[in-house]
């Protein structure tokens, strides 16, 4: 025996120390997810399919049915398909993860005892708590929610914003006596004990949520790197996308990036540069004056979800309407616009319909 460490043990130790020791919690989460996905790369792929030709209720039911399955290795390779759309590749995966988290925040369009829209979490922003609905609990919807959150995290998708600090405290092993409750966690502003009562009533829901997170494999990261927890559960204000954040991520075009989708005679370089400057300026003006909802829609149209990518490319092309190569995080804008008003009208119309179809156009 020479006392050397087996290669597989060295590799395992490297995987452990790398995400445990890196200082930035976001980077730690990224490294952990990449390692876990790579470890399971040879497993059978998970296939998540939604038919966008169906009504919204059927689409939401398909999403929930996918995550209600038991004994699934959620860190397996993921393949997503939007039936009724030609899109393929990573853009579809991003779109699907974004949709999953959006539904957790806004509600699913089917009735589980609470009306036309079923909300898994209730309350005001940054103080969301699990619904106390027995129907949701008996249908394992909080385990579904945990799987959705962990799955999106694994694939570098959006995080779930606005969960109550009291729920996060209990979720990760804190006691009821030390729960950081506030009156904002309960509509009764006079009785603090009522807040603790609300937390007690959601104990089973929290246990289900924890189970769902554990099943995705991210629990190991979260218990050893508690500074990553705010990355998974950010404050809603931290999850907002600002105009400056988007502008900082854009790779602006030069005259050489003009692409002709329908070939015509080349125009001189000066004209090309003027088109690029003008249309790029229109986009910058649109972003600087857009509402928060418009910014989210623009990003989702552009790259497939609401979180800006590190590099978001712009091309000025010979085309009629704006389009997106979501797989390549590229926005293609027509060069023909000579007025900001018509540019804004066309871009607004396109991004308003991102949920009904998108992709590698």
Residues 256-303: tens digit of each pLDDT? 555 544 444 454 556 678 889 999 999 999 999 998 889 989 988 898
Contact assessment for residue 125 and residue 69, using Cβ atoms and an 8 Å cutoff? no
Mean pLDDT computed over 57-81: 95
Contacts of 245 (CB under 8 A, 6+ apart): 308
358 pLDDT exceeds 80? no
Model confidence at 148, pLDDT cuts 50, 70, 90, reads very high
The 3-state secondary structure of the chain reads CCCCCCHHHHHHHHHHHHHHHCCCHHHHHHHHHHHHHHHCCCCCCEEEEEECCCCHHHHHHHHHHHHCCCCCCCCCCEEEEEECCCCCCHHHHHHHHHHHHHHHHHCECCCCCCCCCECCEECCCCCEEECCCHHHHHCCHHHHHHHHHHHHHHCCCCCCCCECHHHHHHHCCCCCCCCCCCHHHCCCCCCHHHHHHHHHHCHHHHHHHHHHHHHHCCHHHHHHCHHHHHHHCCCHHHHCCCHHHHHHHEECCCHHHCEECCCCCCCCHHHHHHHHHHHHHHHHHHHHHCCHHHHHHHHHHHHCCCCCCCCEEEEEEECCCCEEEHHHCEEEEECCCCCHHHHHHHHHHHHCCHHHCCCCC
Distance of alpha carbon 150 from alpha carbon 72, whole angstroms:
13
12 pLDDT exceeds 50? no
pLDDT recorded at residue 263 = 41
Per cent of the chain over pLDDT 90 is 52
356 pLDDT exceeds 50? no
Distance of alpha carbon 6 from alpha carbon 59, whole angstroms:
49
Distance of alpha carbon 201 from alpha carbon 204, whole angstroms:
8
Per domain, the residue ranges of the chain are 7-237, 243-356
pLDDT recorded at residue 270 = 60
Instruction: Name the average pLDDT for the chain.
Output: 83
- Asked if the 7-237 domain carries CATH number 3.40.50.11540, the reply is no
pLDDT recorded at residue 13 = 43
Residues 162-205: tens digit of each pLDDT? 999 989 999 999 887 777 766 555 544 455 566 667 777 889 99
CA atoms within 13 A on the CB side of 47: 5
Which CATH code fits 243-356?
Answer: 3.30.2410.10
Helix (H, G, I), strand (E, B) or coil at 251: strand
Strand partners, 323: 332
Mean pLDDT computed over 5-23: 59
For the full predicted model, state whether its pTM sits above 0.95. Answer: no
């Amino acid at each position: 025996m020479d006392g050397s460490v087996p290669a597989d043990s060295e590799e395992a130790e490297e995987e452990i120390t790398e995400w445990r020791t890196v200082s930035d919690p976001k980077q730690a989460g990224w490294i952990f997810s990449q390692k876990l996905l790579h470890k399971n790369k040879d497993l059978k792929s998970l296939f998540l399919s939604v038919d966008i030709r169906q009504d919204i209720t059927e689409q939401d039911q398909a999403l929930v049915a996918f995550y209600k399955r038991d004994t699934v290795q959620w860190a397996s390779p993921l393949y997503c398909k939007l039936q009724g759309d030609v899109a393929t590749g990573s853009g579809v995966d991003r779109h699907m993860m974004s949709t999953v988290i959006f539904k957790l925040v806004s509600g699913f369009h089917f009735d589980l005892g609470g009306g036309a829209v079923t909300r898994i979490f209730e309350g005001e922003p940054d103080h969301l708590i699990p619904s106390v609905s027995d129907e949701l609990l008996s249908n394992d919807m909080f385990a579904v929610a945990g799987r959705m959150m962990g799955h999106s995290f694994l694939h570098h998708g959006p995080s779930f914003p606005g969960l109550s600090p009291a729920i996060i405290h209990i979720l990760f092993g804190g006691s009821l006596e030390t729960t950081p409750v506030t009156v904002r966690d309960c509509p009764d502003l006079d009785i603090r004990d009522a807040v603790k009562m609300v937390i007690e009533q959601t104990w089973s829901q929290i246990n289900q949520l924890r189970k769902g997170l554990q099943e995705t494999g991210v629990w190991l990261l979260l218990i050893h790197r508690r500074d990553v927890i705010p990355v998974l559960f950010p404050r809603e204000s931290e999850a907002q996308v600002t105009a400056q954040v988007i502008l900082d991520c854009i790779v602006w075009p030069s005259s050489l990036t003009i692409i002709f989708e329908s070939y015509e005679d080349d125009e001189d370089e000066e004209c090309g540069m003027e088109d690029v400057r003008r249309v790029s300026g229109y986009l910058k003006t649109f972003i600087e004056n857009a509402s928060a909802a418009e910014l989210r829609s623009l990003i989702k149209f552009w790259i497939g979800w609401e979180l800006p990518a590190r590099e978001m490319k712009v091309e000025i092309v010979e085309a009629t309407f704006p389009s997106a190569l979501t797989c390549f995080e590229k926005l293609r804008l027509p060069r023909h616009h000579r007025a900001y008003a018509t540019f804004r009208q066309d871009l607004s119309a396109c991004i308003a319909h991102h949920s009904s179809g998108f992709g590698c156009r």
